[in-house]
Structure 1
Amino acid sequence: MKIIPFSELKYIISKGDVIALAALSTANLPAEILKTLVELNDEDESFTDFTVMLANDISDYRGDSYDLDSLTTRGMIKRLITSIITASPETIKAMHNNEIEAYYLPQGVIATHYRSTTAVSPGMITKIGLNTNVDPMYSGGKVNMVTREDLVSRIEVNSQTYLQYHFPKIDVAILRGTYADTEGNIYMTHEAHLGEGYSVALATHHNQGTVIVQVKAIVQQGNFNPSDVFIPGKLVDYVVINTDSNLHRQLIQTQYEPALSGYYQVTKMQEPYLAFGTRKVILRRAAQFLKKGDVISIGFGINNELSNVLLEENVNHLVQPNIDTGVFGGWISSGKHFGMNYNLSARMRHELTWDFIYNNGLDVAYLSFAQVDQYGNVNVSQFGDKMNGCGGFIDISQTVKRIVFSGAMVVGGQLSYADNKVTVTQEGEISKFVTEVKCIDFNADYATKLQQEVYFVTERAVFKLTNKGLLLIEIAPGIDLEQDVLAQMAFRPIIAKNLKVTENDIYQNKWGGLNHLLNSE
């Protein structure tokens, strides 16, 4: 390991390099290294044609740092391999305009492939992604017309079909830790998430590439417990020491808060309870599919606020929420507090969390939807002008036995919940229930073959997936079946003979029924 100034990066990173990052938003983001690359490129435009590979989106919500858009707007990226982009608008625009090559591949596959490609293994071979948009039978994960190379292929092993992912070899890993010791060992002492940096470093070292780590400071070897080493010094080539704290934030919301790294527990919730309205009504009904002791995958979108509802209902101790970044239990925050997770029961490396998920660690997944079609297929990645990507949606939805999809039935609808019933006061403009989805991120036929139990919860109705399509099993009190539900769908679902009406106690400011429901099992 060699400690270098940021200025020496110009001699280490080259035009056309394959660069791997291991960050989520600003967490674990080596922003000062990115700043240096941007400034070097601004001098002579020599840092271009990069292939950038990362499992999660990186973003500068605050406006005082450097992120994916900082590279994209300068033409520094030739090819992007990721799973999700939600906060990099200029990068999405470049993808729309065919200015960069881009792939959306499953997050878990990206995070775990780093240690699957070794001298004694054939690379990433998995069933994850079969019969979805990343399957070469569809788009193979290609985002636009300029993206032509196949990174995914179908193969047969022992008469079973798998996908083989062909990721490029890494030239440079750009990573972040809190400290490096004098032997080059990296510690994640102040970080909110551990990430997959170890495996990225390992894969880079295997390829005889270069591993660069941004840290806050150098400490004497032996000052920390050796069990706390996150990346051993053998895998680290260069260390740069942060000079601007804004470019080494723990999270978007805070420079550093010890509780977010597990150093103490808080005694009260750090965010307000979700306001009563459509989102809360949907989540309350969705939560009724929980069972005591469930390990829950908390998905991005509306379901990120499920933990908020569980806390308000005083049932958080009866189940264990999980976020695939490596967060287990505790208080999983949402909204503006997203990423600020307190009182965790466990914290794991990103790629090890996917091992947990792939090995039936989850009991139920709470996922969102953008479109649902007549067969029960779901699209979350591309709709309207949005090109969000699949994130970990495909990995999770193909490995868990029980899935609850949650979301509004119609975009923009205005509803009233007075008198413990639902009234549509103004109809929305875009129905999410369409004849055919634009992208298949969840394949309903494949799910039935996997014998998954699947529900769709909206503010107006609840559906269940069957081998014949969507079965309408429940409508909200006050809702007109024909006008408010069926007329807002591009297809007619199967209607249960014993169509139920949702219990009306969830349509009030205070509920309190979930604790009783879970404890009565």
Structure 2
Amino acid sequence: MYEIMSADEAIRLIRDGDCICVNSFVGIENPTELHEALYRRYQKMQSPTHLTIVSSAGFGVWDDEHNAEGYIREGAVDKLICGHFGAMMSTKKLVLEDRFEAYNLPLGCISHAIRAQAGGLPGALSKVGLDIFVDPRREGPGINRISIDDSLVKHVEVDGDEFLYYKLPKITIAMIKGTAADRKGNITFDDMFMSGDALSICQAVKANRGKVIVQVDRLVATPSRPRNAIIPGCLVDAIVVAEPQERNEAYTALTGSFEIPYKEWHTWNEKINDLSQKQRKNNIPANIIGKRAAQELRVDDIVNIGIGIPETVARFARKSGMLDMITLTVESGGIGGFPVSGEAFGAMIGAASVYDMANQFDLYDNGGLDVCFMGALEVDKYGNINAHRGTGAFAGIGGFANITAKTPTVVFCMTFNAKGLEVTQEKGVVTIHKEGEISKFVEKVSSVSFSAKRAIENGQKVLYVTERCVFRLTPKGLKLIEVYPGVDMKKDIIDRLPFEVEV
């Protein structure tokens, strides 16, 4: 039977050595009050300690002084297993200083491994991750020098076919944010941007005889409609009521509390960008890339668009009217609306459906997308991509590996080089005024996020769209298939590549 507790009381359920699973998505829907209470207890008692924390999409609030950052920084955590570290501002830096063990697994594979535990299974099989960095035959999932746990990912054969086997430590504590709890302890997510892995986490924790702690905005007297109760009260141990911060109307819109028709998507997106003070400068190279990449869209396509340069694809799809004829998706579980970026990434304007994250990755892993548009840090002569790890910096693979593993058409959107690139386009003619200092095309990528070999075996169409040309993946490597008007093929492309390409 659940109990209503303060955050400080609920955190006493956590013991030294526990494995905590946090239900959040990058920077949204974090149970912040629970994290803050855990930090207070650790500062006072130096306990709980030797913790392991698992999160499919990471847990941060883009602020290194709040949420879990404090107790991680001060030594309460021995091990982190996350799909993405982007919103964990101090933590992602400490990872590279070998302060604790840290592992990066594909977001969807963590989600599916949690669901496996919920079903009484030790782990989950997946094709995702073969021949990229997480494959133990390559680098393995460890981010730093002390992360040497080889039990998390194994290469296995089943019925003559190869897979990666993802196995998480036994989850013993759930930390979850919900909207409301009724008098039976049932938890709803009505005012949330997503429900993530919430139910699977609770089921896994109960299978492991652990404790489920849920932070909610309010208590309600009337029982929830059965289909709206994501977590049944019988799985909950502690409910913590924490009055939410007041939300601007633009963010309230992302909960689906009122309908936002297609013709208003752009207006609401502008409102959200204004709130986050997101700069909307005229990035000419990105515009050139987005316009060309958007030509790969077809009517009725199911699509995923990554953040950064790929976001310009949606802009040109809207201008052409194609945006209303495709279905956009986001990793957190949203389908049929318009994904927002920035600090609210994972939320969706006008979503038609928001379901469990594991179900979204079922769709991605089985090739249910028609096309995806992703960014890239490096590409090599074989067509391999590094999209998750830069020099001296690390964010993580997130859903990238799942999204690109089996999607029939994969379009990488990237500038030819970076840091100082200056380009203009007038009447369709591209002029390169200044080259960037950092080449995106390298002899060999420093870490593999996308395997060209696997893509060829899968029969995927793979394009690399830049501001001056387009390459296509072939069994021999990259093939130059388009050069834009105004671009000198030899001077601006061939002579700047560290390897030969087919033309």
TM-score, length of structure 2 as denominator length: 0.92
Letter aligned with residue 123 of structure 2: G
CA offsets 1:232-262 (integer angstroms, 9 cap, x no match): 112111100004x34xx77xx7795145324
Q: 2:483 aligns with which of 475, 493, 514?
A: 475
Contact in 2 for aligned 1:380/1:390 (Cα 8 Å): yes
Contact in 2 for aligned 1:135/1:163 (Cα 8 Å): yes
Matched, 1:334 2:329: no
Letter aligned with residue 450 of structure 2: F
Distance 1:485 1:469 in 2: 16
Corresponding residue for residue 143 of structure 1: 143
Corresponding residue for residue 123 of structure 1: 123
SS in structure 1 of the partner of residue 310 of structure 2: helix
Corresponding residue for residue 388 of structure 2: 381
Distance 2:408 2:427 in 1: 36
1:119/1:464 CA distance change after superposition, 3 Å: closer
Q: 1:325 aligns with which of 318, 332, 335?
A: 332
* Deviating more after overlay: 104-113 vs 115-124: 115-124
**Alpha-carbon shift at residue 355 of structure 1 (Å):** 1.5
Corresponding residue for residue 494 of structure 2: 486
**Alpha-carbon shift at residue 410 of structure 1 (Å):** 0.2
1:121/1:41 CA distance change after superposition, 3 Å: closer
**Alpha-carbon shift at residue 445 of structure 1 (Å):** 1.1
Letter aligned with residue 260 of structure 1: T
Letter aligned with residue 265 of structure 1: I
Letter aligned with residue 412 of structure 2: F
* Deviating more after overlay: 66-75 vs 169-178: 66-75
Over aligned residue pairs, what C-alpha RMSD do you find? 2.1
* Deviating more after overlay: 256-265 vs 171-180: 256-265
SS in structure 2 of the partner of residue 117 of structure 1: helix
Q: Aligned pairs, how many?
A: 488
CA offsets 1:12-50 (integer angstroms, 9 cap, x no match): 112221110110234221000101111111223223321
Q: 2:355 aligns with which of 345, 348, 354?
A: 348
Letter aligned with residue 369 of structure 1: A
CA offsets 1:191-237 (integer angstroms, 9 cap, x no match): 01221111111111111111000001111242x32111111112111
SS in structure 2 of the partner of residue 165 of structure 1: strand
Contact in 2 for aligned 1:307/1:321 (Cα 8 Å): no
Distance 1:115 1:336 in 2: 27
* Pairs within 5 Å for 1:18-417: 18-61=19-62, 66-117=66-117, 121-150=121-150, 151-222=152-223, 224-243=224-243, 245-246=244-245, 257-265=252-260, 268=264, 269=266, 270-272=268-270, 275=282, 277-335=284-342, 338-339=345-346, 341-412=348-419, 413-417=421-425
Corresponding residue for residue 430 of structure 2: 422
* Pairs within 5 Å for 1:448-467: 448-467=456-475
SS in structure 2 of the partner of residue 271 of structure 1: helix
Contact in 1 for aligned 2:331/2:346 (Cα 8 Å): no
**Alpha-carbon shift at residue 464 of structure 1 (Å):** 0.3
Distance 1:484 1:336 in 2: 36
Distance 1:147 1:164 in 2: 18
Letter aligned with residue 444 of structure 1: A
Corresponding residue for residue 503 of structure 1: none
Corresponding residue for residue 10 of structure 2: 9
**Alpha-carbon shift at residue 276 of structure 1 (Å):** 5.6
Distance 1:82 1:178 in 2: 24
**Alpha-carbon shift at residue 59 of structure 1 (Å):** 2.4
1:189/1:10 CA distance change after superposition, 3 Å: closer
Gaps of 5+ in 2: 271-279
**Alpha-carbon shift at residue 69 of structure 1 (Å):** 2.4
**Alpha-carbon shift at residue 265 of structure 1 (Å):** 1.7
1:341/1:73 CA distance change after superposition, 3 Å: same
* Deviating more after overlay: 258-267 vs 229-238: 258-267
**Alpha-carbon shift at residue 105 of structure 1 (Å):** 0.4
SS in structure 1 of the partner of residue 219 of structure 2: strand
Share of identical aligned residues, percent?
Answer: 30
Distance 2:287 2:441 in 1: 21
SS in structure 2 of the partner of residue 89 of structure 1: coil
* Deviating more after overlay: 370-379 vs 356-365: 356-365
Contact in 1 for aligned 2:118/2:201 (Cα 8 Å): no
* Deviating more after overlay: 70-79 vs 187-196: 70-79
1:44/1:184 CA distance change after superposition, 3 Å: same
**Alpha-carbon shift at residue 143 of structure 1 (Å):** 0.7
Distance 1:83 1:258 in 2: 27
Distance 1:379 1:134 in 2: 12
Contact in 1 for aligned 2:373/2:412 (Cα 8 Å): yes
Corresponding residue for residue 514 of structure 1: none
Gaps of 5+ in 1: 496-521
Distance 1:306 1:260 in 2: 24
Contact in 2 for aligned 1:410/1:488 (Cα 8 Å): no
SS in structure 2 of the partner of residue 446 of structure 1: helix
Distance 1:60 1:326 in 2: 20
Distance 2:411 2:439 in 1: 19
CA offsets 1:360-385 (integer angstroms, 9 cap, x no match): 32111111111100100111121212
Distance 2:495 2:130 in 1: 33
Corresponding residue for residue 273 of structure 2: none
Distance 1:486 1:326 in 2: 42
Letter aligned with residue 453 of structure 2: D
1:447/1:98 CA distance change after superposition, 3 Å: same
Contact in 2 for aligned 1:187/1:228 (Cα 8 Å): yes
Corresponding residue for residue 511 of structure 1: none
1:121/1:61 CA distance change after superposition, 3 Å: closer
Distance 2:341 2:47 in 1: 40
1:61/1:320 CA distance change after superposition, 3 Å: same
**Alpha-carbon shift at residue 188 of structure 1 (Å):** 0.3
Distance 1:339 1:159 in 2: 37
Corresponding residue for residue 441 of structure 2: 433
Distance 1:334 1:122 in 2: 34
Distance 1:10 1:120 in 2: 26
Letter aligned with residue 277 of structure 1: I
SS in structure 2 of the partner of residue 163 of structure 1: strand
TM-score, length of structure 1 as denominator length: 0.89
Distance 2:312 2:186 in 1: 37
**Alpha-carbon shift at residue 331 of structure 1 (Å):** 2.6
Contact in 2 for aligned 1:324/1:353 (Cα 8 Å): yes
1:2/1:336 CA distance change after superposition, 3 Å: closer
Contact in 1 for aligned 2:25/2:346 (Cα 8 Å): no
